[in-house]
Amino acid sequence: MPVDPADAVTDVLGRPFAAETIPLPRDDEGEVVATLVSRASDVPTTKAVLHLHGFADYFFQAEFAEWWTARGYDFYALDLRKYGRSLRPHQTPNFITDLRDYFPELDEAWRRVTVRDGHDHVVVSAHSTGGLISGLWADERRPNELRGAVMNSPWLDLQGSAVMRVVGTPVIKGVATRRPMREIKRTVTGLYARSLHVDHEGEWEFNLDWKPVSSFTVYAGWLAAIRRGHARLHRGLGLDCPVLVLSSDRSSTPTAMGDDVHGTDIVLSVPQIRRWATSYGSHVTYIAVAGARHDVVLSRPGPRKQAYDEIGRWLAAYVAPPKRDLI
């Protein structure tokens, strides 16, 4: 089970969640840390989940953690550098110029989950940008303890027209080389965060400084790193574990609050998720959940239950360790 090291404290979610700081090498902005959040299962176990959030996000989905712990998994979630609990006042939120910059904290989180805490059966869970980052990391590291991956609306390609992707990507990379901190202008309606937050039209509580209604600024250097990650994924990864990819059944681009905001993916393109899902490896299950939001486990109760049911069926079919014959 997750240990309680000296530097672990009760997390902002309250008990039984704990949080511990992972010190990392300084960068040109100064001190850098990541944060590992954990919640133990009610029973002793050598199974665990390691969850990774998306862009302009952090881990706050307590219900999701409780679903796993009720099924005998110790739960861990990593707030990456410059996100959520790990964001420091001197830092540019979310900014990096290479997705491999995140590998050191993933390496250390994995070491704590497996070597320190004794888990030999680990499932990766990831949402949106986290689905890209964790896939690239797992493909490069090939950890022995990895038993499966649940990708929740992973960001597998740049949304928009094919012309924008083909023509725009070299432009972005050129700008990033000269001016990595140049802002990439985009329209943010705020509808997605408003559909989630309890103070607006949603049912979830989260820190609006860490997950703002207006999102965070996108910079050329960061976006170029994302596009390089997309290109690597499109060439095909080689994950040899079962992978479950979940998404809504459709996308939309609403301009005002309404049913589409609550029942479709208004952040990413569902056809692109479906198209590139098999890039993770040779054992991929794709499920479209009708009426789901971009984060399927933050959907309204009906689609949310279906998403959990799908994860449960997938676990039972592909990930649960086989029972040994009694002799």
What is the mean pLDDT, run by run of 10 residues, along the chain of 327 residues?
Answer: 69 97 97 98 97 98 98 98 98 98 98 98 98 98 98 93 65 86 94 98 97 97 97 97 98 97 98 98 98 98 98 96 53
Q: Report residue 34: phi and psi, to 5°.
A: -125, 170
Please check whether residue 47 lies inside any domain of the structure: yes
Please check whether residue 170 lies inside any domain of the structure: yes
Q: Are 304 and 296 in contact (CB under 8 A)?
A: yes
Q: What is the largest CA-CA distance in the chain?
A: 68
Q: How many domains does the chain have?
A: 1
Please check whether residue 271 lies inside any domain of the structure: yes
Q: How far is CA 193 from the centre of its chain?
A: 16
Please check whether residue 176 lies inside any domain of the structure: yes
Q: State the amino acid at position 304 in one-letter form.
A: R
Domain that residue 294 falls in: 8-319
Asked if the peptide bond before residue 25 counts as cis, ω within 30 degrees of 0, the response is no
Please give the Cα distance from 48 to 120 (Å, whole number). Answer: 8
| CATH of residue 120 | 3.40.50.1820
Q: Who contacts 159 (Cβ-Cβ below 8 Å, separation ≥6)?
A: 268, 269, 272
> For the whole model, what pTM was predicted?
0.95
Please check whether residue 324 lies inside any domain of the structure: no
DSSP sequence for 158-214: --S-HHHHHHHHHHHHHHHHH-TT-B-------HHHHHHBTTTTSSB---TTTS-TT
**pLDDT of the residue at 326:** 47
Please check whether residue 119 lies inside any domain of the structure: yes
Please check whether residue 327 lies inside any domain of the structure: no
Please check whether residue 326 lies inside any domain of the structure: no
Q: Are 97 and 180 in contact (CB under 8 A)?
A: yes
How many other β-carbons are positioned within 10 Å of the β-carbon of residue 305? 12
